[in-house]
Structure 1
Amino acid sequence: MNSFKNYISLLVTYVNMLFIMRVTEKCFKIKNFSYIYFSICFGVGALIYYLFAYLPWKKIYKILLGLILIFIASLIIYYNKQYVAKLIALNIQYILTLNDSIFNGKITFFYQYKFIITIVIPLSSLLILKIGNELFSDFIIAFNLAIMLFYWYYGYVEIVKGYTFYFVLINTCTYSIHSYIDNLKKGISTLRPIVYILLFSIVLSAVQSFLPKDIEGKYYSEDGIINKISKSNIDQEDSYNLSSSGYNPTDKKLGGPVQLDSKEALKVASDKPYYLRGVAKDYYDGFSWKISEDSFKRVTNKNPIPVPNVVNESQKTYITIYPTKINTSTLFSPLNTMNIYKKSGGLYFNKDKVFLSSKVMKNEYRVEFYDSLYSSIDYINHTESGKYDNYLQLPPNIPKRVYDLVEEITKGSIDRKDKIKDIYNYLNTTFKYSLDVSEMPEGVEFLDHFLFTEKKGYCTYFATAATIMLRMINVPSRYVEGFNMSYDKDVNGLYIVSNKNAHAWSEILIDEDLDAWAILDATPSAFEEIERIEREEVERNKEDDSIESNKDNRQELEDGGGVIETNHKSVLRFNYKYSFVLLVLVFILRVLYIIFRKNKLIKCKKLIPLYIYTLKRLKDINIRIQPHEGEMEFVNNIEDEILKLKMREMVSQVFEEYYSPTKLDKKIENKKDYYYFIERYIKEKRGIWKYYIYRIFNK
């Protein structure tokens, strides 16, 4: 009974921990995760537990064994202290890297976790088995629930949802199996309850997958009372404007002298600089930019953030933004943002994918987006359906000479994409970037003044000119303000974004069907910055490929497999490694089984199970009872006198036990004697090597 319970407990614990590791792999984006290595670590912990729990030794001997093992481990560490010190330092660096990667949702690698797994998994399996077998049988269920809640709380909601079916199924099965074992202890051996419970667990798990996991409440509706009240709570008064960085407020007046400062605004944890969008405007009146309509809606499960299908999943990435000395409710984000994770407050977005919080942001927030900073304009899909007419709006006060200039610039091009490049090249090469500009004359249209009078300017000049001139060739465009990150970093590796990085640029529609937009920054200094980003991006991609290859090689070397080559022999060597690991695991489990079976036979109140086991063992050396023989007749026909004497004694006690069950011998000394006698006898007949080989690999 105890042996059966131990086997089941071991299997159930392994399956549950395997499930948690699978969820962890998905949450932390662990590449090249080795479940074989995890299984070995689990087996080590289980072996230690069962050896100490079921060895027929006195407690003092187990303590001494534990101390000896600790002493041996200490000696090994001492004589390899330099290697151990380097290993610890390396893994501290891994942990620091993991902390940043996990927080920012980046890919991590198995080799970074290997040292942690080597320590944590054996200790966890030992602890779970001890508590589960000795104190609280359903401890593994509580453990799984705690881990899943932890991942849910820290933002891995979609992954947890995806594994809810398996979570319910595994934990319901675990509970039913533990209940069945408890019933066996009470003498209830029927399998009917456990069959019912298992069927119920499957049905329950299947049904829950169809149920909504995000309940909005009975008063929710797209335009209902709650949503209307929520809209009124949005903090638009503190939304971002270039005026907070020293520029003139572009919703009131474009152009004129500015006085910028270098005060820090944000810090960003990112792999590279991005354009951080703060506000997008679509209505131009000749003097300023405004938003034509207030279309902000709260992000809910029924009203998610729409994301264009213009990039593949490999471009999905994260950045983390830390507001430092900026006071705004705007949530800055790159183009093609798909979600924003923050600690508190409502999240709102409008038709231009600008994001606001219900209150001024003081804490960091993480932005999930598709990295398509340099979306190609070689493919333009405009159906002219009227859906984007507000991005083609032009005021009546623009002088005719501006239209004539655009026609002159683009006359040599037929395709719309070539005309876009013509306008970009004209603005970028003809005019100079400068903060030293004159005051805007009253009543003068801004674009005309820039192109024909001022002929120099800063970002708002170029962004306005590009947006309006693109509209003149029928390309939907919008004016955007925010920050263009530089390469400045602090001591912790965070990008520093200051007021001098405040910027304005254009975004052009490249595909109406997909609502896909691309950045067009005609400001000369910004273009030089983009070229540098692109050059370094190419180099970074080469380095990333090399680093990833080295990481994979390093991981394989640490696993003991070496670099996997494409030739046949290397593939075979790789497979042999894992085959060997599997054989070692099977060997360990077999040894555990032999130990459990021995303890079960010796500790059993009855001698009959040991007698049946003895007959099976003797059968392995061709000493077997014939169908026509009785028990004593079989014994009397044994040729070896010593074996005959021992078997006669055992059979006599079996008869007495069978016919007089009230006189059971509760002592285990005789059983030990019989057990070890038979094993010694078989060892002498077979020889040591054959004995152990048959003992381990035979039934």
Structure 2
Amino acid sequence: MNRTVQRWWDWPASLLLLIAFWIASLRLDITDWTDGLSRVITITLIGVLFGFLLGQCRFSGRFVFIYSLILSIILIPWQLGLTLNDKIPWLERLSSLGGRLWITLDQFTHGVPVEDSVLFLTAMLFVFWLASLTASYHLVRNGRPWFGLALIGISVLIIEFYDPPRAVHGLYSSLFAILVVLLVSRLYFLNLRRRWESSGIPMDAETSFDWMRAALISGVILVFLAWNIPSWIRALSPNTPERREFVQSWLVVREKLSNVVAPLSGTAPTEGEYYQNDLIMGTTFTPSDEVVFTVTSSEPRPAGSRYYWRARAYDRYQNGEWFSTYSDREEVTPVDEVLPIPDWKERFDSTFAITLQTPIIRNLFTPGLPLSVSRPAQALGNLIAPTFLDTSTLLAVPPLRAGEIYRVKSSISLPIKNDIETSQGDYPEAIQRVYLQLPSNFPEDIRNLAEEITAGLDTPFDKTEAITNYLRQNITYKPAIQAAPYYLDPIEFMLFTTKEGFCFYYASAEILMLRSIGIPARLAVGFAEGEMNDRRNSFTVRRKDAHAWPEVYFNDFGWVEFEPTVIQSALVRRELSTGPNASGGVNSGPLQSIDEGKERSSTGITPEDFLQDQASPQTNLPANRSIIIWLALLLLLFPIGLGLLLWLRLRSGKPTIPPLAVVVEANLIRYGFSAPGWIHERARLAHLTPLEQAFNAVPKALRLLGKPANPSLTPAEQVSRLVETLPKGQIPALTLLEELHRGMYSPLPANMELAQKSSRQIMRLARRTWLQKIIRLEKFRGHPSGF
């Protein structure tokens, strides 16, 4: 039997569909609602072209569905990923997009305005991809692109409703409507022509041209009326009940959609920094359980260490306000180091993956000194040396949104107390110039108190520890405090009058006292460590963890954190054993816990070592990055390879790929093996014509019902047996037999759609009867007596 499958390929119709979808995607792009809308144009054109290809091939509908699903899983994330900076690793782009989508979906399902346009962009990519792919596929397969056309038409109407009416924008929608009218008219004409040809009715060669010309004129008139009738109705019938009812119904729908388009209409949070250039300490601190971000480190936190997630450092103090006066800037790319740090002692490196849970921010939270970051950023700081930027903060370019993930590699201080106690106070001039600043009206009482606390102590570390302990023992923590009189410095008022404060006051008091006795210090703000899980490498940071702490500079060690705020646990430094049995070990958390026994040199990290360590841009990926990369490549190459194979077979005149069962059976026979029965049966069915495959439902149903038919029986005898066994299947069985006879023994073609429908009805009835039989059998077994 001839197995050729007829297609509805028509160049004018295909071109009309392609242009119509292109115009619709352009209509969305010119709204400028959000960045990345041009990606919708790309994915629409790809969808139309793939739909034409899949429609023209002879693959089954099930195969096309699976293939299209794989394409969707790859192409939509690919287009979304292209909206992010091209220097961000692809794995991080995908994970960030997934996090953003998860948060926006949660906001949408809870009925709150969405704060990120990624949900809208994803929805548009999916809608236009689905509409273009299905419309072009069904146009070629059966001349029925109605689902895709309807979906894209509704989208254009919604866009027209939300986008402010402008003449140029309206032209796009008008042109789309005219193209749709032409396409529908063309398809109707093709359907009529097929009927005329099958009935032997001759057709004039000019008929097609006349038909399209009439459709064009009609389309222009209809579009003109459609675009102007609403304004006429509003002008002639204001405040009619029908109009008010329609408007009220639409407002309900619009309110539902407004949550999704909130970031497009200006209601979303604006870009900003978590901490600005100036910081007023204020008189209240309001805690909250809202999660700001979560952190996963590449290895467990070393014993004796603590993480502080710094957002910004401040260097200048004046009358209860801190200022960040860092003027040096450096552009940071994801594959380069932020800057090499000096050869400071007793530090360790670790990589952190930080997932944001808060709206748009610019500050990148980093522990210690950042070495590399996976996002384009701008480093602000003080250029201490030609190769060392003393970083105050990292600002993401562009800002990050809730759900995004970035990775940062940092060098974190973990000094041994015995060593840092030997550090002396001969500080570099650049450090003294910036970090010993005091206001011109600095209260001498604060300097006197600092000298009193540190009397008899020789080293900067001992003096810093003494001031830290004094604040922890003598200042009471309160989240709301009394404001200082206008003539008193707030720190002076806290130290000598109220003796109450929260973290900003504790840290500021320590910094001012240290500076007054010649020890460089600066204010760091961000978040405390947060809630740590049992594995010591994952943390949840909430708004209540917002914190300020002093960072003190030590020669040979760099910046070291201290904790004067009493509600935070005290920092306990590691010490070397000094007793008679000491062997030089660390008695409060060995460095071996950093990386399973691999101890770092106490001389620190040289800039050369750091640059070598950063030579590969993949250092920020997880340990199993090679597996992930290979899986991603396979997922990307599979549909491309399949599409190439399809194209090659189409060119060679073999538009089908042999079924798997046929390939397996052929290879087994080639190598001298016998194919199992079930593989042979699958291969036999694959060689049948579509009509014979539909009729195969009859013997299959008989086997299911326990009445298998002998292969020697004719189709009519098999149908007769099925009707005896399954009386309800008489009509579809006889219909299927009639179509089989028509297709095999008459010049008329069989109605494949009717045959397949009858085949499905037979199998549905057979399964239902088989299930009822099983249920009755179980009931009988449960009641042997019959009752």
The two structures have a TM-score, normalised by structure 1, of 0.39
Alignment TM-score, normalising by the size of structure 2: 0.35
